[in-house]
Amino acid sequence: MIKPNEEANSRAQVFETLMENPGAIVSSSLLTQRLSSSRQAVFKAVCSLKDEGVPIESIPQKGYRLESIDELQKLSPTMIEFFLRDNPLFNRCIYMRETDSTQKVIKKLAMQEAEAGIVALTERQSEGRGRRGRSWQSPDEKNLMFSMLLRPTLKPGEVQLLNLAAGLAVKETLGELCGIPSELKWPNDILCRGKKLCGILSEAAGEPDRIYYAVTGIGINVNMGPPDIPEEIAGVATSVLIEGGRRFARWKLLVDFLARFAALMELLSSRGGAVKLLSLYRRGCDTIGREIRVVQDEEIFNGRATGITPEGALVVHTSDGEKIFAAADVHHLRMAEGVNGG
């Protein structure tokens, strides 16, 4: 495991102390005691937290006070890690203002034998992409773009289950934290009223019989308003802001999602857990029961989605018989007559 450096520890201790005294002035002397360090070190840690966007008020001759973080739009890795203390899987957050790709960042850490549970966040990525290499762009400080390092006990053919688990966790967060109903579109999209709000991409490395590591990347449209959405996708994209009618603190969505995803990963690793996970997914999947168009390797198949296999693949009834797709682009056409799409 890559250990946090001394400065990161100082930031964490200062933030924790301020959180223990919400709205109150915390003296520099108390902080120096907690850090077993100098006032200069405390001052440096406070400045670093402010650089991360943490709203700390400096009060001359008295100390520091943490202002409300409820509506904070900045993504502070120190603050996020504080709220991940009870998360059984995720414990470290890396924030980069800009990077080529959070997927690449996590893959590099995985190859350095870093432990599972690292989350890489960014505001902008030059090589961000979705399925089939599509680019993923985002306006600054409006959305969530992150990748997670996982070391699941899955076989390579079961990687799709990570997409399904992540989709379920996003759906739960949207519904319970934001009050926004959503639908799961196999294999990796979350829709609201038929428009895309979130995309997921899972990749893995390993041998034929086991996975060394997996990287799951997620992009959630959070606080984009209609003017932020490019004209060419305005008819098919939406955001938490548009659906919920107000801005949401991105860090809250992230922390809530990571808690739910960790619980689903724990379920997935348990005996019979995959069966339970798939049952949950099938109930929320809007693809099942629909007439769909499937695009795979430049071939097009039309048919009705009838189910999902134990490995997370999609079962489609076509004019040529039943076909199973482990990964493909799916386009919803309409509900099949007499079939419940839930």
Residues marked as binding for biotin? 125, 129-131, 196
Report angle CA 79, 81, 82 to the nearest 5 degrees. 65
Are 284 and 171 in contact, with CB atoms under 8 Å apart? yes
β-pairing, 189-192 with 299-308?
unpaired
What is the Cα–Cα distance from 264 to 166, expressed in whole angstroms?
Answer: 8
β-pairing, 290-296 with 329-335?
antiparallel
Distance of CA 177 to the CA centre of its chain: 14
Count of alpha carbons within 13 Å of 75, Cβ hemisphere only? 25
Please report, in angstroms and rounded to a whole number, the separation of the first and last CA atoms in the chain.
Answer: 42
Distance of CA 268 to the CA centre of its chain: 17
Are 171 and 182 in contact, with CB atoms under 8 Å apart? yes
Per DSSP, helices labelled H in 199-298 are 240-244, 250-269, 273-284
Per DSSP, helices labelled H in 202-249 are 240-244
Annotated binding-site members: 125, 129-131, 196
